[in-house]
């Protein structure tokens, strides 16, 4: 697949990709808050800077984009056929695994909520409650 955008335009476009306060993350926050769960955001003293932290429950939540974090079986996880992207995605998944292991060693339960799971707010509230409270 050939990139149809010039390198300058592609660079600008990729620079607009957010790392925090994304729409899926805001939806997960809204669902957790509606369920009466209270949390902290982006604690930098924890490995991987989790998106939501439930300190009393010792639970951290990462809201992963299906494309960037390679959600298995998800159509949004399609990859451009390029060695750059293959290396990028391998690096992302390796980092996700390492961060999860580090957090577990520190006594935290790690929960991942995928971008595609945030489309239905009622269902998302059920998912958040189930994964955080069990």
Report yes or no on 112 lying in a domain: yes
Report yes or no on 37 lying in a domain: yes
Containing structural domain, residue 65: 19-45+52-133
Report yes or no on 40 lying in a domain: yes
6-60 confidence digits (pLDDT tens): 888 877 877 777 777 899 999 999 999 999 999 999 999 999 999 999 999 999 9
Q: E-strand spans in 29-130?
A: 40-41, 52-54, 59-64, 109-114
51-97 confidence digits (pLDDT tens): 999 999 999 999 999 988 999 988 888 877 778 888 988 999 999 99
Which residues lie below 8 Å from residue 90, measured CB to CB, with a gap of 6+? none
Q: What is the CATH number of the domain that holds 71?
A: 3.40.960.10
């Amino acid at each position: 697949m050939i990139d149809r955008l010039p390198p300058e335009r592609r660079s600008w476009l990729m620079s607009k990709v957010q790392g925090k306060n994304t729409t899926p993350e805001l939806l997960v926050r809204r669902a957790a808050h509606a369920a009466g769960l209270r949390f902290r955001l982006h604690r930098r003293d924890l490995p991987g800077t989790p998106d939501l932290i439930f300190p009393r429950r010792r639970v951290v939540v990462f809201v992963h984009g299906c494309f960037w974090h390679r959600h298995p079986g998800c159509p949004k996880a399609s990859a451009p056929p390029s060695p750059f992207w293959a290396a990028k995605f391998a690096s992302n998944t390796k980092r996700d695994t390492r961060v999860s292991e580090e957090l577990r060693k520190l006594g935290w339960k790690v929960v991942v909520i995928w971008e595609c799971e945030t489309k239905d707010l009622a269902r998302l509230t059920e998912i958040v409650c189930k994964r955080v409270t069990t």
